[in-house]
Structure 1
Amino acid sequence: MTKQVFSTNFCGKTLQIETGELAKQANGSVLVRYDDTVILSTAVTGKEPKDVDFFPLTVTYEEKLYSVGKIPGGFLKREGRPSEHGTLTARMIDRPIRPLFPDGYRNEVQVVNTVLSVDQEATPEMAAMLGASLALCISDIPFNGPIAGVNVGLVDGEFVVNPGPEQMERSEINLEVAGTKDAINMVEADAKEVSEEVMLDALMFGHEKIKELIAFEEKIIEAVGKEKMEIPLFTIDEDLASEVADKAKARMVAAVSIPGKLERYAAIDDLMAEVTAEYENREYASEDEKKAVLKQVGIILHDLEKDEVRRLITEEKIRPDGRKIDEIRPLDAQVDLLPRVHGSALFTRGETQVLSVCTLGASGEHQKIDGLGLEDQKRFMHHYNFPPYCVGETGRMGSPGRREIGHGALGERALSQVLPSEEDFPYTIRVVSEVLESNGSSSQASICAGSMALMAAGVPISSPVAGIAMGLVKKGDDYTILTDIQGMEDHLGDMDFKVAGTKKGICALQMDIKIDGITKEILQEALAQAKVGRAQIMEVMLGAIEKPREELSPYAPKIYQMRIEPDQIRDVIGTGGKTINEIIEKADDVKIDIEQDGRVIIYHHDMESIMKAVKQIEKITRRAHVGEIYDAKVVRLEKYGAFVELFEGTDGLLHVSKIAHERVNNPADVLKIGDIVKVKVTDIDEKGRVNVSRKALLPRPKKEQPAKKEETETAKPQESQPNE
């Protein structure tokens, strides 16, 4: 296959696709050039289907630090496990392409996006999504694409596609949206409390730009696309499906209608075990045949469960737990559960329960980021933990998985919109959300609990944030939107649409779907229904804590801010950090952060220790100013004057003419070393030398006053004489 190049102009930037030269052994590969951003996207499928009951798709987003001219840190000096941003980007690419593979496809598919070069003005994430779609579409892998995605900002009241870092700083929206030419199928967003109408307009604006990219993709697919391979899909024996349905349908209808999660799942499990046992005891020609039949029976029973839940919702408007379509589960909110932490809150919604804890730290405890973007640290972190006991199971404990990272990031995006500026509240803030029970919408419960924990900790957030998950069950053109979906509705439904916001507007969105896409009407209705639900949840939260505490926890570090001149920073730090380490040691191990602009922030649990450090820094950085008055100590005498110590480290010259009103021939006649004299700063020269006066603070001798008056009277006639 020879190299082919396709180019277009997309929103003022050159978009170029190359294929036929790199990674030719992959089923499909493209090189995407978006200005100076370069992404290699490849797609490969396994030759044989896997013996699994799900589609084994893996999407990766490989961040290479050489793409931005960096060498990785650490001992090994090479890239290791994916960064948090890399994981989130891989999930974002996975979500819109996963629904577009054929049902029953069990061959493993791996899509790898490698970032080779990054232009900060040309977003690599959206280029990678385009590359993933094209790599699949031009390959022989069955795939019902193409899809594309764009990043939408709202800058000065205008929507902007793929904004650069400077524009994004000013943007009210950071929206990542993907879809086919007919519908949207992935949304990820954070926003500065924008209205539902503005967010919907942004989604539709983004979809119009997506259509432009897909039109470009279709030309490439037509030119170089391979014929799709014929792969046998996993299918169910219709006679077996009918037989199993006859045995289990009536009991399945009753089981899925049990309100309690554990009781409902127990009834379903019992039914499945009973039906499976019946088929397990039959005679088969071979062990392979038995295994195949039992596998199909399990899938048939699961599909029967799915069909009955969906039928009850769409036809009878009945949900598994008996709620109405727009009804929220019972709510409860509490704060201050833990005595020694900085802030804690518990939020319960039905059988979903989350405990969030807020911890405040010094600004030096910001998270360091060694990534491809311009940001190298962040002050706010939201970490989400989903232990196996929260769903009544045993399982792996340890580092967070992709799902936990994604849910934590969604909460972080929502809560960061209401945080105070670092100048007003110079703390590092960490919120940890522990899921104690889960039956759906735990990520949104973590936003509610996290918001209350921030307020309980005394973080002056502008407004509390509430989150809710909306669901969808679609059958043909008919659809039903569900408020506050539980686990079964998420698993068996068509959409999980998470909406978080304040009373004023939306702070974050995330949408995953299992169908090809959804329309503007569905989005509009879901956003409106979510707004009503958020308001109801907010009332319960405000009942637990109405506003942020005015005082921090006694266990939170206290803080003191002061300013020094930037050129004094080196004096405070000292050679090799000697001076600042001495200050920290003498002040009971306070934490000191010094910004480049001269802002000094001191943290400690004890204010007395903080003030010890403040006094030491003031001694080092204190400077005299014209007009200030000091009780100065005479430290040296010269014929022309006396040197006096204004304060530690700063002397001033008291010239002989400034000692007294009467003539002084020798300073030693009036002063001696060790004397304390009151002086006023009269001048500071360019080199920082200070001149002071004692005379300026002494009353004038009375005998001088008449003479001065006589002089003035004598001078007046001279000034008034005509100039002849």
Structure 2
Amino acid sequence: MDYNVLIDLDNKNEEYALESVAKQANGSVWLKSGKTVLLATVVIDENEFAGGEFLPLTVQYIEKAYAAGKFPGGYIKRESKPSDFEALTSRIIDRSLRPLFPKGFTNPIQITVLVLSADEESDLQALALNAASAALYVSDIDIKTSVTSCRIARVEGELIANPTMSQLHESTLDLYVAGSREDLLMIEMKAHGSVETELLSTAMVDPMIDPAMGVDTVDSYHANLVSEEEFIEILSMAQERLNTANKAYESAFDPYAKEPMTMELHEVSGTQQIEAYILEEHAEAVKEAIKEMAKSERSNALRKIRNDVLTKHEEWDKEHVKMALINVKKSMVREQILKEGVRADGRGLNAIRPIDIQTNILPSAHASCLFTRGQTQALVVMTLGGDKDAQMYESLTDTAQKSERFMVHYNFPGFAVREASPIGAPKRRELGHGNLAKRALECTLESPGHTIRLVSEILESNGSSSMATVCGGYMAMRAGEIELTDTIAGIAMGMVSEGSEYAILSDITGLEDHDGDLDFKVAGSKEGISALQMDIKLGGINLEVLKKALFQAKEGRGHIIDVMLEAEKKIETNPDLPTHTIFHIDPARVAEIIGQAGKTIRSIIEKFEVAIDIDRKGGKVKVSGLNREGVKAARRHIEEIANKKREPLPEYQVGDIVEGKVKRIVDFGAFIELPGGVDGLLHISKISDGHIKNITDVISIGDTINVEILEFKGNKISLGRAAV
């Protein structure tokens, strides 16, 4: 492959072949970084116009199994439905590049990114955006702004730009930023929890255990939330990297950019006369329509105004009247916010809508929460399971399957916004919102032994159902007695700006999202941020303005958390909720809990209807079950066995010959019960001088034989057959 361009950046380099493959596309690039190879293409339909304001941009990021030397999983050995990672990566590319297209551009555009070769250290999301942007830049579509990505990780306190995947897995921060030389266009961030291991006496772990047992290791989980001040500093670092990178890209790609075609813009112009008429004759009606917070009710009110205008002025074009009415409505919303500091629903700029929280309203579910904020309502339901319930998945470069033990699934049916639409497979928006809520909650989760699934059913929506999912998800887990390191809430922020004037809005509605300049979702505790997502419609945002928005979000988040904490006090646990307990015993007593051939532990499981997992080496015991009293009783029973005082055992020395009884015969020898209740192993090779085919030909259960103490291995005694 003939590579035309080499880009050398922090911790990575990229090689581009710009004139070698897919030459019939409007733009194409072949990108190589390490062992990873991607092909990105851009194609525009020059003859079709979608009409309206919507840009019909389609992005498909597709991973080929052969890129990692694999066969596609499943019965059919061919790539088909995109994975969640592919869908989310496509969404990231779309959100990053969509702001580049001018208003009124409505030709269908298809951007395709194929992963043809991959290695486990490459950041495929970052490379995919860079490749897609490069293909658009060198195409004949008249957009000559480079957009690149920068990912920031924090490993052992040190910030790393463009980390490898190994570094990212060790990081307590994952910040992904996309932008041009001057402007930030999209931000995604999540904090990672970390485990710190401490040496503590076993008695400190569980005071019921004898302190003489020594020490044990205890994992202490920390959320590593990011403060607002720290986030701004890290974002400033990312912005500097983006500026440097985009200068390098544009300088390198300029010589290879095609001659731009003429871009036809579908603009509805000449509406000034109609707008003036609407303001003169229907201003009050428009104001009343704006007060209708539900999207369907507002649309109906505006439709009545539009029909009235068309009835009186048949000479006016319907589309012109529609656009004029949209412009008047938008300007009224924005002017009222900027000039009066009052929003369409009468709230102040930082006011939060009324919140109502009900928990465990579903009798048969393990836990549930109905979270309502204004006209946004999420029913979040939690289900607890074990290891077998975890979601199995495999990424392109994984060598083995992995298990996802915390899942957040978000569903947005049409009835939530009074739309007559069928419910089908989750779309990219639903996957994205679920992923955002998962990132917000996961870093504070302590769930040893549990698989947790949260399902958010959006029952009504008027602004930020994803943040309602975060709040409802936290409450559902607390209703299910899941321990979390901190209280997490989410809030959606917006902004309206004209020139140097701007207003930041807390807890935005759908109307403010549509007519505003910023969609900014931030989740976290009262102390810091756990997850963040920002789409900037302005083309960029000043960091000082962003800082103000972050602190206003922190204030709103604190208010929501206070309401949640009050609701948490009123939780009544579902009696059918599975429960578990984890405690420690002396590892030397584990064998007694298990019993001969597992007889003791099986009897405990059957008697108390529980599941038991024991770490033989560390003495960690986990008891779980559906019946709380059964779990408690099983723990007490195990602790009684473990704490039962042993009778002093006889002191044996190597070489002693004692009389014992054959207790159990196995393929490799026999277990002999010695005086004092001690068992020892008589290996098959020590039973007779000659070769033995069947042990039972020589000894039988119940026989009394003389044995010699040969060796002590920890708590085990090795025996030999003593001469008679």
State the TM-score, normalizing by the size of structure 2: 0.79
Q: What does residue 359 of structure 2 align with? A: 335
Q: CA deviation at 1:333?
A: 2.0
What is the distance in 1 between the residues matched to 2:502 and 2:275?
A: 28
Distance 1:676-1:322 versus aligned 2 partners, 3 A rule: farther
Among candidates 227, 235, 247, match of residue 278 of structure 2: 247
Q: Which amino acid aligns with 1:383?
A: H
Q: How does 1:254-653 map to 2 (within 5 A)?
A: 254-258=287-291, 260-261=293-294, 263-278=297-312, 282=315, 293-374=317-398, 376-420=402-446, 422=447, 425-546=448-569, 553-556=575-578, 558=580, 604-606=625-627, 641-645=659-663, 651-652=671-672
In the alignment, what sits opposite 2:115? 115
* Aligned equivalent of 1:41: 40
Check conservation: 2:605, 2:611, Cα contact below 8 A.
no
Equivalent pair of 1:306/1:492 in contact (CA under 8 Å): yes
Cα distance in 1 for partners of 2:720, 2:575 equals 48
Q: Structure 2: which 5+ runs fail to align?
A: 192-223, 651-656, 680-699
User: Given the superposition, is the C-alpha separation of residues 562 and 219 from structure 1 closer, same or farther in structure 2, using an over 3 Å criterion?
Assistant: same
Distance apart, 1:435 and its partner CA: 1.2
| Aligned AA (1:494) | D
Q: Structure 1 residues 158, 273: closer, same or farther in 2, change over 3 A?
A: farther
Contact 2:336–2:342 (8 Å) recurs in 1: yes
Q: Say yes or no: does 1:142 pair with 2:142.
A: yes
Partner of 2:90: 90
| Equivalent position amino acid for 2:489 in 1 | A
**Cα deviation 1:82-105 (Å, max 9, x = unaligned):** 111111111111112111101100
- AA partner of residue 130 (structure 2): L
Residue aligning to 1:179: 179
- Structure 2 CA distance for partners of 1:561 and 1:48, relative to 1, 3 Å: farther
Distance 1:381 1:455 in 2: 16
Partner of 1:223: 255
Does the 8 Å CA contact 1:37/1:123 hold for their aligned counterparts?
no
Seq. identity, %: 38
Moved more, 597-606 or 25-34: 597-606
Change in CA separation of 1:252 and 1:519 when aligned onto 2, cut-off 3 Å: farther
Distance 1:231 1:58 in 2: 18
The structure that has the greater radius of gyration is: 1
* Structure 1 unmatched runs, 5+: 283-289, 573-578, 631-638, 660-671, 694-724
How many angstroms does 1:394 deviate by?
Answer: 1.7
Alpha-carbon distance in 2 for matches of 1:39, 1:359: 39
Distance (Å, rounded) in 1 between the aligned partners of 2:235 and 2:550: 12
Is the CA contact 2:13–2:33 (under 8 Å) kept in the aligned structure 1?
yes
Tell me how far apart the structure 2 counterparts of residues 115 and 471 of structure 1 sit (CA, whole Å).
36
- CA shift at 1:548, angstroms? 9.2
Shift of 1:237: 3.2
Q: Judging changes above 3 Å, is the alpha-carbon distance between structure 1 residues 219 and 334 closer, same or farther for their aligned structure 2 residues?
A: same
Q: For residues 532 and 602 of structure 1, what CA distance do their matches in structure 2 show? A: 41
Contact residue 578 and residue 624 of structure 2 kept, 8 A = no
Q: Deviations over 1:574-625 (max 9, x none)?
A: xxxxx9xx999989998788999998967542589999999xx9xxxx9xxx
Amino acid at match of 2:386: A
Name 1:10's counterpart in structure 2.
Answer: 9
CA contact (8 A) 2:458 2:465 kept: yes
Q: Aligned partner of 1:415: which letter?
A: L
**Deviates further, 313-322 or 540-549:** 540-549
Instruction: Tell me how many residue pairs correspond in the alignment.
Output: 636
- Aligned equivalents of 1:584, 1:111: Cα separation in 2: 60
Residue 651 to residue 510, structure 1, CA distance change in 2 (3 Å)? same
Inter-partner Cα distance in structure 1 for 2:701 and 2:56: 88
* Kept in 2: contact 1:629–1:680 (CA 8 A): no
Q: Indicate conservation of the 8 Å contact 1:154/1:172, yes or no.
A: yes
Superposed CA deviations along residues 137-176 of structure 1, whole A, max 9, x for unmatched, are 1101132521111111122222111222332233221111
CA contact (8 A) 2:286 2:302 kept: no
Residues 188 and 247 (structure 1), Cα distance of their counterparts in 2 relative to 1, 3 Å cut: same
Q: Mark the CA change 1:90 to 1:564 in structure 2 (over 3 Å): closer, same or farther.
A: farther
CA offset digits 1:451-504 (Å, max 9, x no partner): 011111000111110100110112223221111100000011111100100122
Q: Distance in 2 between matches of 1:152 and 1:77?
A: 36
SS class of match (2:578)? coil
Distance 2:616 2:104 in 1: 59
Distance 1:313 1:382, change over 3 A: same
- Alpha-carbon contact 1:335-1:344 (below 8 Å) kept: yes
Structure 1 counterpart of 2:530, one-letter code: C
Aligned AA (1:67): A
CA gap 1:547/1:688 in 2 versus in 1, 3 angstroms:
farther
Q: Give, in whole Å, the separation in 1 of the partners of 2:151 and 2:290.
A: 42
SS at match of 2:490: strand
**Using a 3 Å threshold, how does the CA distance of structure 1 residues 317 and 610 change in structure 2: closer, same or farther?**
closer
Is the contact made by 1:458 and 1:548 (CA closer than 8 Å) also made in structure 2? no
TM-superposed CA distance for 1:135, in Å, is: 0.7
Work out the CA distance in 1 between the residues paired with 2:571 and 2:225: 19
> Relative to 1, partners in 2 of residues 1:47 and 1:600: Cα closer, same or farther, differing over 3 Å?
farther
Report the 3-state secondary structure (helix = DSSP H, G, I; strand = E; otherwise coil) of the residue aligned with 2:229. helix
What is aligned with 1:718? none
- Alpha-carbon distance change, 164 to 244 in structure 1, aligned in 2, over 3 angstroms: same
Whether contact under 8 Å (2:662, 2:703) holds in the other structure is no
Instruction: Indicate if the aligned counterparts of 1:497 and 1:510 stay in contact, CA closer than 8 A.
Output: yes
| Structure-2 change in CA distance of 1:683 and 1:510 (3 Å) | same
- CA contact under 8 A between 1:354 and 1:446: conserved in structure 2? yes
TM-score (normalised: structure 1): 0.79
- Root-mean-square deviation (CA, aligned residues, Å) is 4.1
Partners of 2:437 and 2:526 lie apart in 1 by 17
* Matched letter for residue 116 of structure 1: L
- 2 CA distance for matches of 1:642 and 1:676? 6
User: CA 1:613 to 1:19, structure 2 compared with 1: closer, same or farther past 3 Å?
Assistant: farther
Aligned-pair CA distance for 1:76: 0.5
1:235 match: secondary structure: coil
Q: How far apart are the structure 1 equivalents of 2:347 and 2:164?
A: 45
1:612–1:67: structure 2 CA closer, same or farther, 3 Å change rule? farther
Distance change in 2, residues 1:402/1:304 (3 Å): same
